[in-house]
Chains A and B, each alone.
Chain A
Amino acid sequence: MPHKINKIEFKILSPQQIKEMAVGEITDPTLYDKSGYPAENGVMDPRMGVIDPGMKCRTCGKSIGSCPGHFGYIDLSRPVVHVRYVKTVYKFLRATCQECHKPLGDDEEIEEMEDPLYELYLKKRKKCPHCDAEQDKVKRKRPHNFTLGGRQLNPREIREWFENISDETIKKFGINGGRPEWLILTLLPVPPVTMRPSITLQSSQRSEDDLTHKLVDLIRINQRLADNIEIGAPDFIIDDLWELLQYHVSTFFDNNLSSVPQARHRSGRALKTLAQRLKSKQGRFRGNLAGKRVDFSSRTVISPDPDISINDVGVPEQIAKEITIPEKVREDNLKELKSLVKNGPENHPGANYLKRPDGGKKKITEDNCEKISEELEVGFIVERHLQNGDVALFNRQPSLHRMSLMAHRVRIMPGKTFRLNLCVCDPYNADFDGDEMNLHVPQTAEARAEAEELMLVQENIRSPRFGGPIIGCTQDHISGLYLLTGDDVEFDRKTAQEIVTQAGDEDVVFESETVTGKEVFSKFIPDLTVVFDSESGDEKVIIENGELKQGRIDEAAVGSFAGKLTEKIERKHGTEVTKDFLDSISRLSLEYLNRRGFSMSISDLDITEESKDEITNMINDAEEDSHRLIQNFEEGDIDQIPGQTKKESLESHINRRLGQVQNSANDVVGNDLPQKSSAVNMAKSGARGGMVQLSQIAGVVGQQTLEGNRIHRGYKDRTLSLFERGELSPKAHGFVSSSFKSGLSPEEFYFLVMNGREGLMDTSLRTRKSGYMERRLVNALQDLKVETDGTVRDNRKTIIQFTPGEDGVDPAKSKEGDVPIEIE
């Protein structure tokens, strides 16, 4: 087992520590000597680590990749303040006495304070309670200068002051990370070259890291300051250089300080120094530590495959040859692995690498595979290609919930896309308009076991969000089942047998000469009894002992997010049976649809002339009513709604009146459409679309809105120039009285598009807002877990809930959030 890190302490480095951990002082601003080697005592000093392949580290003897790098240090000619601690320095200056360096507060007082350093800083005491010395005013001059009674206070003086503060005082202030004088830097650690490697461009020219540039500048100024001090230059020159040194050290830490000009690269680009490396999404923390790049992963376009199981994922052979699984050679798999190695890296069930127990690693090539295959012994580790049945994690971004990453069993397939069953589209929120997904292959037995037990698709059928199935049939599956389980569907025995076999159940035998659709479907229901309402609102669905007695199967029975039948099967028979059920009924449904034929045409939405007239009349009535309302309003007679102005009330009334048209149009269209048409079937079964969509196509599109109101924006007092100024009629404010089928007039189309654009803007804004909310929520709640004693605690072990969710019921195991109470 590798070492385990138990804790991480955060401290301030003392000058001594800086010296101790360094390999030496860095004094030379030159990077490379004339021969091109890194200069001794230079910023790229070879003792600080290796960045060139093939070199050995002078300090630790390791080579690139394993040498962690070593610090150096710069001896600053004059001390400077650490920018990140200017505020702390300021607090110390104001919280301690200028004479005796004790805190400006007596012991009892400090005892009671939560943050004495800060509170004393705020108090601005004029007199020391210990030595009665008068205190001059300490002021901060941004960014990093201080004055004492109007006189400039230089870092050297501050350092002397701080050196005299006793350890006891520091402790009282709650400072445990080090001495305050360490905040005034005398030595500056030089980060190892391994964290600022230079890049060699194609022109064999070296391009240095931003930090290196910064260090070179820093050493130059430091040197100049030292020289000037030595020759006894006048104070103002020294002070100027000192200020410059302070600037360089400050920007070395953070190049984004307010009131400090940014240090720039020759090209004018601001340098990325230490703070910038850590910060924000692409920074070290969020970009490299909390989220890492991984090996054994792949990404490609996805496409559907209704014939594979929901647990499966189709993987292209090309990917399978690239991604490997390490397998230890045992006696029982020796033969098998030998043949894999023999196949080499190019032929599919092959292998790419061989690891010996002594640690030697060998690449298997087309040339040496035969030979290596002969040498294979028990105890070796073969990195073999991905094969059918291996477990892999499959993921689609945005990963909004845990079902965005599930384990699948691999199926190697021809082609270049990942294949997935249509039933798992919903948890991933995937479609096939060019979506790409990622595949990760776990490399250890533990990881594989966990993936299979906890993350497999079938184990995630029940969503922890609401305790119902999130995986189920979609779209054509539902149309198919709805049609199949209709009352007048009948097959002869042969056809029925064929359909069932096609769906995957070869053992079923039908006895009677004719078989109904319900009987066919029943063959796939496990033994259970359940009654529920159907989506279409027809008769109730009754299933007795695994036999569909009444009703038609639709969205409410097997759909994702709804699936009453799926839910019951999962609870009663477990996930394995549910998986088989979903696999076979989705195949069954598609098989039936293929045989029957399923298409849609514009004539599906033909309504009779009478209905058309009825709708036209309704629209006319509503428009007339609206005009009357408007007329009354203009005469000052309006039924005012409390809390609204007269104008707003008028809008509400008109909106309500026009809304009625839409509702009654829905009814008219709903009653008049040919009930057997595909479009109606889809709407009724919940496969796709609803009555609203149908009536928009056949009847009337209806009122378009912007921000919840009728459309008002556009030109002065009118939406479009073809209307009168101040016109309030329905037509002038976005009421679309045409149907999609009859076609829209130009102004109607314009209103429709306005509405559509608002929708698009809304969506993009929403994704951002909810994304940030998710990040904050997850961050706040990520430490909470259920402890072995049944309480919910955070990482401080504070109890958040004594019983999770007040009753201890896990929504992920419940029936829609409740404990199921059912009679067997």
Chain B
Amino acid sequence: MNYEKKVNKLEGKLPERVKNRLIEKMEEEELKGQEADELIENTKKEYKRCRFEAGEAIGVIAAQSISEPATQMTMRTYHVAGSAQGVEITQGLPRLIEVVDARKTIKTPSMDVYLEEEYQNEEEARNVANEIRETKLVDIITEDRIDLLNLVVEFDIDKEALKGVNMDKEEAIGSLNKGRRKYEAELDGNVIKIVPKDDDVSVRDLQKIKNKVMDKHMKGIKGISQAVVTETQGMWTIQTLGTNLKKVLKVEGVNPKKTVSSDPREMEKVFGIEACRNTVLKEGHKTIKDQGLDVDIRHMMLVADTMTVDGELKAIGRYGIAGEKGSVLARASFEVTVRHLTDAAIEGEVDDLNSTVENVIINQTVPVGTGMYDVVYKPERSE
């Protein structure tokens, strides 16, 4: 309606989100011309009032806003996604620390796999999930034994399990006979026989082979131990435990534009730094929100932006941002004090004393907030 037109005239004066909410509100209240104008004016005023002031120590506030409620977080991991059938994912404080630390390997990486339009039903979703989930031989057998007489290893096939992952017996044998190996797999009715190529094998060798074969990758994508299909508001998605974004994106039916991993480093590798920034933001914020804590998303945004400004993901802490600060004194007051001082000396570093800790150390005004400006108070002179 004309509300939209009106609001869109404000190009650049209001943020997009506020505009949309403004339109929503006007439609809801069915405002007439003047009333609408008034609301727009009011909102503009409110927006102006709400803006950040110069000198605000936004970093410290963000840091405190995130870590103050972190004290109330749980340390446990929980089941999520789907009612009882769930993927167990790290949550709470350990997860938050993991995100902020930009760990190389995270405890429970997972993916949200979105599906293409044509695959939006339970059956197709399950098929895709089966495609993705890594199936090992252990998953499709009921029993294993070693035939000492013939010196072969035998597995009883679990027919239902096999059907569950859309495989037949021949395919299973095919998968087993892929790649370099010390055995030949044969099918004997409902039994898989593993015949060692070497004639002279000991029982111990057979044990070894058995264990190796049981762990053999049969189908799906390596590293993805679980894939659970869930429906939310008519959307079918697959949540996984374990990630392999590169390969999953190529699977038919997967929507590569929406599918994401919960591992910022993987996102950085596959999609680049902006995607990585968004992952840090999303994961960090979600972790806090899932604990029922209310923290403004802008705080996490600042953390995510700080971690990624230089074009690569950097951890908060000694080996990341804090260790690469410009100021010698700031670094020395954080961790590994002596090393920073001696290194600074040999390199002939200069500390320009232009931020917080350095000035606290030398007892000078910190250049933040009111300290950014030199205003001198001169008490009125009495005559």
Is there contact, CB below 8 Å, between B47 and A819?
Answer: yes
CA distance A653 to B327 in the complex (A): 57
Is there contact, CB below 8 Å, between B15 and A809?
Answer: yes
- Residues in chain A near residue B353, CB distance under 8 A: 5-8
Task: Mark out the residues of chain A between 3 and 40 whose CB falls within 8 Å of any chain B CB in the assembled complex.
Answer: 4-12
CA distance A767 to B70 in the complex (A): 9
Is there contact, CB below 8 Å, between A801 and B96?
Answer: no
- Residues in chain A near residue B330, CB distance under 8 A: 779, 782-783
CA distance A794 to B22 in the complex (A): 34
* Cross-interface CB contact of A178 among B47, B70, B334, B348, cutoff 8 Å: B348
Smallest CB–CB gap between B300 and chain A, Å? Answer: 10
CA distance A656 to B368 in the complex (A): 53
Task: Mark out the residues of chain A between 775 and 795 whose CB falls within 8 Å of any chain B CB in the assembled complex.
Answer: 776-788, 790, 792, 794-795
- Residues in chain A near residue B297, CB distance under 8 A: 805, 817
* Cross-interface CB contact of A11 among B43, B338, B345, B364, cutoff 8 Å: B345
Is there contact, CB below 8 Å, between A804 and B337?
Answer: no
* Cross-interface CB contact of A770 among B78, B93, B295, B382, cutoff 8 Å: B93
B71 at the interface (CB under 8 A from A): yes
Smallest CB–CB gap between B358 and chain A, Å? Answer: 8
A446 at the interface (CB under 8 A from B): yes
A110 at the interface (CB under 8 A from B): no
Q: Which segment, of A62-70, A97-105, A327-335, A586-594, faces chain B?
A: A327-335
Task: Mark out the residues of chain B between 59 and 74 whose CB falls within 8 Å of any chain A CB in the assembled complex.
Answer: 59-71, 73-74
B58 at the interface (CB under 8 A from A): yes
Smallest CB–CB gap between B252 and chain A, Å? Answer: 22
Is there contact, CB below 8 Å, between B347 and A174?
Answer: yes
Known: A8-B328, A279-B337, A776-B317. A784 touches B350 (CB 8 A): no
Is there contact, CB below 8 Å, between A780 and B22?
Answer: no
Known: A85-B342, A643-B241, A801-B305. A782 touches B96 (CB 8 A): no
Q: Which segment, of A284-292, A612-620, A664-672, A689-697, faces chain B?
A: A284-292
CA distance A812 to B305 in the complex (A): 20
- Residues in chain B near residue A576, CB distance under 8 A: none
- Residues in chain B near residue A822, CB distance under 8 A: 42
A798 at the interface (CB under 8 A from B): yes
Is there contact, CB below 8 Å, between A767 and B51?
Answer: no
B256 at the interface (CB under 8 A from A): no
- Residues in chain A near residue B65, CB distance under 8 A: 401, 464-466, 811
B17 at the interface (CB under 8 A from A): yes
* Cross-interface CB contact of A824 among B42, B49, B50, B326, cutoff 8 Å: B42
CA distance A788 to B367 in the complex (A): 13
CA distance A280 to B66 in the complex (A): 25
Interface residues on B, range: 35 or more
Smallest CB–CB gap between A331 and chain B, Å? Answer: 5
Smallest CB–CB gap between A171 and chain B, Å? Answer: 10
- Residues in chain A near residue B15, CB distance under 8 A: 806-809, 819
* Cross-interface CB contact of B63 among A12, A279, A283, A774, cutoff 8 Å: A774
Is there contact, CB below 8 Å, between A177 and B63?
Answer: no
CA distance A124 to B10 in the complex (A): 66
Is there contact, CB below 8 Å, between A707 and B58?
Answer: no
CA distance A9 to B84 in the complex (A): 62
Smallest CB–CB gap between A756 and chain B, Å? Answer: 15
Known: A466-B296, A643-B85, A785-B58. A808 touches B351 (CB 8 A): no
Is there contact, CB below 8 Å, between A176 and B59?
Answer: no
Is there contact, CB below 8 Å, between B298 and A806?
Answer: yes
Residue of B nearest to A814 (CB): B50
A509 at the interface (CB under 8 A from B): no
A600 at the interface (CB under 8 A from B): no
Residue of A nearest to B346 (CB): A177
Contact with A along B11-22 (1 / 0, CB 8 A): 000111110011
- Residues in chain A near residue B56, CB distance under 8 A: 785-786, 804, 810
Smallest CB–CB gap between A531 and chain B, Å? Answer: 13
CA distance A283 to B64 in the complex (A): 24
Is there contact, CB below 8 Å, between A804 and B52?
Answer: yes
CA distance A776 to B77 in the complex (A): 23
- Residues in chain B near residue A807, CB distance under 8 A: 15-18
Contact with A along B355-368 (1 / 0, CB 8 A): 11100111010001
Is there contact, CB below 8 Å, between A795 and B326?
Answer: yes
Is there contact, CB below 8 Å, between B333 and A817?
Answer: no
- Residues in chain B near residue A643, CB distance under 8 A: 85-87, 225-226, 228, 241
Is there contact, CB below 8 Å, between A777 and B67?
Answer: yes
- Residues in chain B near residue A810, CB distance under 8 A: 50-53, 56
B322 at the interface (CB under 8 A from A): yes
B173 at the interface (CB under 8 A from A): no
A445 at the interface (CB under 8 A from B): yes
Q: Interface size of A by Cβ–Cβ distance < 8 Å?
A: 108
Is there contact, CB below 8 Å, between B58 and A784?
Answer: yes
Is there contact, CB below 8 Å, between B377 and A446?
Answer: yes
- Residues in chain B near residue A652, CB distance under 8 A: 84
B57 at the interface (CB under 8 A from A): yes
Is there contact, CB below 8 Å, between A774 and B67?
Answer: yes
Residue of B nearest to A808 (CB): B51
Smallest CB–CB gap between B329 and chain A, Å? Answer: 7
Is there contact, CB below 8 Å, between A766 and B71?
Answer: yes
CA distance A330 to B380 in the complex (A): 10
* Cross-interface CB contact of B320 among A466, A708, A780, A794, cutoff 8 Å: A780
Is there contact, CB below 8 Å, between B322 and A779?
Answer: yes
- Residues in chain B near residue A819, CB distance under 8 A: 14-15, 18, 21, 43, 46-47, 50
Is there contact, CB below 8 Å, between B49 and A286?
Answer: no
Smallest CB–CB gap between B321 and chain A, Å? Answer: 4
Smallest CB–CB gap between B25 and chain A, Å? Answer: 5
CA distance A454 to B369 in the complex (A): 11
Contact with B along A428-469 (1 / 0, CB 8 A): 000000000000000011100110001000000000111110
* Cross-interface CB contact of A769 among B16, B18, B97, cutoff 8 Å: B97
- Residues in chain A near residue B338, CB distance under 8 A: 84, 254, 275, 278-279
Smallest CB–CB gap between B18 and chain A, Å? Answer: 5
Is there contact, CB below 8 Å, between A765 and B302?
Answer: no
B181 at the interface (CB under 8 A from A): no
- Residues in chain B near residue A777, CB distance under 8 A: 62-63, 66-67, 100, 303, 316
Is there contact, CB below 8 Å, between B67 and A445?
Answer: no
Task: Mark out the residues of chain B between 172 and 197 whose CB falls within 8 Å of any chain A CB in the assembled complex.
Answer: none
Is there contact, CB below 8 Å, between B337 and A773?
Answer: no
CA distance A142 to B300 in the complex (A): 46
A813 at the interface (CB under 8 A from B): yes
Smallest CB–CB gap between B305 and chain A, Å? Answer: 5
- Residues in chain A near residue B171, CB distance under 8 A: none
- Residues in chain A near residue B325, CB distance under 8 A: 783, 795
Is there contact, CB below 8 Å, between A796 and B68?
Answer: no
- Residues in chain B near residue A722, CB distance under 8 A: none
A113 at the interface (CB under 8 A from B): no
Is there contact, CB below 8 Å, between A331 and B306?
Answer: no
Smallest CB–CB gap between B347 and chain A, Å? Answer: 6
A402 at the interface (CB under 8 A from B): yes
B29 at the interface (CB under 8 A from A): yes
Smallest CB–CB gap between B126 and chain A, Å? Answer: 10
Residue of A nearest to B39 (CB): A823
Residue of B nearest to A784 (CB): B59
Residue of A nearest to B129 (CB): A642
- Residues in chain A near residue B84, CB distance under 8 A: 641, 652-653, 656
* Cross-interface CB contact of B46 among A285, A328, A773, A821, cutoff 8 Å: A821
Task: Mark out the residues of chain A between 268 and 302 whose CB falls within 8 Å of any chain B CB in the assembled complex.
Answer: 275, 278-280, 283, 285-286, 289-290
CA distance A328 to B381 in the complex (A): 11
- Residues in chain B near residue A178, CB distance under 8 A: 345-346, 348
CA distance A625 to B356 in the complex (A): 63
- Residues in chain A near residue B361, CB distance under 8 A: 285, 289-290
- Give 6 A-B pairs besides A766-B74, A783-B325, A792-B305 with Cβ atoms closer than 8 angstroms: A278-B332, A454-B369, A770-B67, A774-B68, A777-B100, A821-B42
6 contacts between A and B (CB under 8 A): A8-B351, A641-B85, A792-B305, A794-B355, A801-B302, A818-B21
6 nearest CB pairs, A to B: A176-B348, A784-B59, A805-B298, A781-B59, A774-B67, A807-B15
